[in-house]
């Protein structure tokens, strides 16, 4: 299955003006804090990593029609089904209909603030040396993970950044591979 990120709208027009939220406004609806809490709690089980969560959100087919927390909830639903933590009929019913699946970890309420403050690593160990080096001139290709506004552009690599997982393969853990990130001009 090809990786199609519906979040890749950089450089495109036709999405209307950006309307800033009032300072300090985090949630607009009463269900949003619960969706956020569920995402944190289920992510803490270790059933998936940050890259997989991002992939689940960005590949939602109706991504562009969803609010911020609808995207989080839709991604979470994909993950709990993919990891057999819930079934589609349980999500529809809004309650457990089957015996619970075991999870690796449980985030207790008294640890939430400390865990969120600590964060989680996003860098991955490289599988080998970088294919390119800073200062090198390159022409980008259009791949499933190349942002549309960068596809088929000439650039000079300026700074090598860290190594991260390619989102094109992240959902299939056995194939997930780290790639080098560069800044370019």
81-85, 101-105, 147-151, range with the lowest pLDDT? 147-151
pTM value surpassing 0.75:
no
Q: What is the pLDDT of residues 16-36, one digit of tens each?
A: 787 787 888 789 899 999 999
Q: What is the pLDDT of residues 130-183, one digit of tens each?
A: 888 888 888 887 776 677 777 788 888 876 677 776 655 555 455 567 777 777
At the top level of CATH, which class does the domain 32-118 belong to?
Answer: mainly alpha
Domain boundaries, the chain: 32-118, 137-184
For 23, phi then psi, to 5°, come to -55, 130
Q: What is the pLDDT of residues 47-79, one digit of tens each?
A: 988 778 888 998 899 998 999 999 999 999 999
pLDDT above 90 (res 84)? yes
**3 neighbors 145 (Cβ within 8 angstroms):** yes
């Amino acid at each position: 299955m090809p990786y199609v990120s519906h979040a890749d709208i950089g450089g495109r027009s036709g999405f209307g003006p950006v309307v800033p939220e009032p300072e300090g406004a985090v949630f607009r609806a009463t269900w949003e804090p619960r969706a956020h809490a569920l995402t944190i709690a289920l992510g803490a089980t270790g059933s998936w990593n940050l890259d997989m969560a991002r992939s689940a959100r960005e590949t939602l087919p109706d991504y562009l029609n969803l609010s911020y927390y609808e995207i989080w909830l839709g991604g979470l639903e994909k993950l709990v089904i993919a990891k057999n933590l819930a079934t589609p009929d349980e999500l529809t019913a809004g309650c457990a209909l089957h015996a619970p699946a075991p999870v690796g970890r449980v985030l207790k309420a008294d640890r939430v603030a400390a865990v969120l403050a600590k964060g989680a690593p996003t860098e991955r160990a490289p599988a080998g040396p970088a294919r390119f080096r800073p200062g090198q001139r390159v022409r980008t290709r259009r791949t499933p993970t190349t942002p549309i506004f960068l596809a088929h552009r000439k650039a000079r690599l300026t700074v090598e950044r860290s190594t991260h997982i390619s989102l094109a393969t992240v959902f299939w853990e056995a194939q997930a591979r780290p790639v080098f990130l560069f800044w370019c001009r």
